[in-house]
Amino acid sequence: MPLINLPDFTDNLLAEFAARGTERVDTPIIQPAEPFLDMAGEDLRRRIFMTENETGASLCLRPEFTIPVCLRHIETATGTPKRYSYLGEIFRQRREGGNEFYQAGIEDLGDRDIAGADARAIGDAIGILNRLLPGKPLSVTLGDQAVFEAVVQALGLPSGWQKRLIHAFGNLTQLETLLARLASPQPVVGLDRYVVDFLARGDEQGLVNHIDNTMQATGYSTNASRSPLEIARRLREKLVLSTTHLDDVAFGVLEEFLSLSLPLADASSALAGFADAAGLKLGAALERFDARITALAKAGVDASQIEYGAAFGRPLDYYTGLTFEVTVQGSTEVLVGGGRFDRLLTLLGAKDHIPAVGFALWLDRIETARAA
């Protein structure tokens, strides 16, 4: 039996899902933990409830619905495009208190019209909230991880640094820390002289042999950790990252980009002007950004309530493009959060590439907003 009661607007919400042509699905409360540990992000990993089965396999209480819905889609070999809706309990430690609460949402899988699907997700989220919170003005914050990735790539940073910065997208404090390290690199310390010598000469095989001999001599099992080759390549990457310096011009470019925050109606021209002034080629990413704005207009979404933030992201690692959140104007309580996760289904085992976008509604927060 659930420990908490469903909100009184649940029937209205399910009717909204049905009207949007979704198929209602449910997923087991007990889930394999590995997909969440690998793909959900550090913020969620710290807050999930872990357990084990009789064979010692790691399990967890369902901390969100996106990964379980995608796994179910793959396991049932359902064709795309497909629109799913869900409503049920999730379990995670919350900063505002409580460990069990209801979440509902829509996952839109397989639609090749990326801009149209993005616009539909935002429009559906706003439309559902308008029905559940009549008369309450809403505010939407929109970000785009793909634009940030294009900026980082255009600056020519090593792939390791690109991965670090992209991984930190949406966490401004972490991004600022990484940028400070790029501006003032810190040397790697604590390596023995043989490792330093192999790295300096670029002798990967010699380094692998040295690590292998050391592990055997100390009785350290490679089965319990990385292989000597993986360790050698990680050390080489660490050395490259520690010696990479972001010059003042490139640092200024990144800082300027991350400071962009303006109405969505002005975002396209601002991004184009930024790219031209910085000498960056962001063509494909900006084209997709512009296509989404056009699709939002066609879908009848009022862009005046949407704010674009270049540094805005959401704390889940599987997002790849659009990210957005919806609040009541004047409030910081997120009622809906969502975005695009085009790589997730392939990482979960899908044989074909399946583009995907979706959003989740926080029912307890909506209930509080209704009562306010």
Residue ranges making up the domain that contains 219: 193-243
Give yes or no: residues 131 and 31 share one domain. yes
Query: What pLDDT score was predicted for residue 68?
Result: 97
Run of H or E including 280:
none
**Domain check: are 239 and 280 in the same one?**
no
- Identify the bridge partners of residue 139 per DSSP, sorted by sequence position: 327
239 and 267, same domain (yes or no): no
Does residue 348 sit within a domain?
yes
Pairing type for strands 138-144 and 356-362 reads unpaired
Residues 239 and 272 placed together within one structural domain of the fold: no
Same domain (yes/no): 14, 142: yes
Phi and psi at residue 360, in whole multiples of 5°? Answer: -125, 145
Helix (H, G, I), strand (E, B) or coil at 355: coil
Is 161 inside any structural domain?
no
CB neighbour list of residue 268: distance below 8 Å, 6 or more residues apart: 286, 289, 290, 293
* Same domain assignment for residues 19 and 97: yes
Residues 140 and 214 in one domain: no
By C-alpha distance, which of 268, 276, 244, 240 is closest to 154? 276
Question: Residues 335, 290: one domain?
Answer: yes
- Check whether residue 276 and residue 236 sit in a common domain: no
Q: Which helix (H) or strand (E) holds 101?
A: strand 100-109
> Domain count of the chain?
2
The tens-digit pLDDT sequence of the chain (372 residues) is 455 678 889 999 999 999 999 999 999 999 999 999 888 877 778 889 998 888 888 999 999 999 999 999 999 988 889 999 999 999 998 877 778 999 999 999 999 999 999 999 999 999 999 999 999 999 999 999 999 999 999 988 877 788 888 888 888 888 888 888 777 766 655 677 777 677 667 778 887 887 778 777 776 655 445 677 877 777 666 666 566 667 788 888 999 999 999 999 999 999 999 999 999 999 899 999 999 999 999 999 998 899 999 999 987 888 999 999 999 999 999 999 999 999 999 999 999 999 999 999 999 999 999 998
Residue 95 lies in a domain: yes
3-state secondary structure of 336: strand
Residue 358 and residue 270 in one domain: yes
CA dihedral 54, 57, 63, 69 (to 10 degrees): -100
Q: What's the pLDDT score for residue 223?
A: 47
Which of 180, 211, 243 is the last residue in one of the domains? Answer: 243
Considering the domain boundaries, does residue 300 fall inside one?
A: yes
Q: What is the model's pLDDT at position 248? A: 81
**β-pair partners for 52:** 58
Q: Any idea what the Cα angle at residue 215 is, between residues 209 and 220, rounded to 5°?
A: 155
Residues 23 and 140 in one domain: yes
pLDDT at residue 167, as a whole number: 85
Structure tokens at 212: 């292998």
- At 276 the pLDDT is 96
Tokens encoding 370 = 């209704």
- Are 281 and 225 found together in one domain? no
Secondary structure letter of residue 223 according to DSSP? G
The dihedral built from the CA positions of residue 267, 269, 272 and 278, taken in this order, carries a sign that is negative
Report yes or no on 181 lying in a domain.
no
In contact, 320 and 153? CB cutoff 8 Å: no
Tokens standing for 357?
Answer: 């976008």
CATH number of residue 82's parent domain? 3.30.930.10
Which residue in the block uniquely carries the two structure tokens 């919350």?
94
Closest Cα partner for 318 from 79, 69, 87? 69
Residue 183 lies in a domain: no
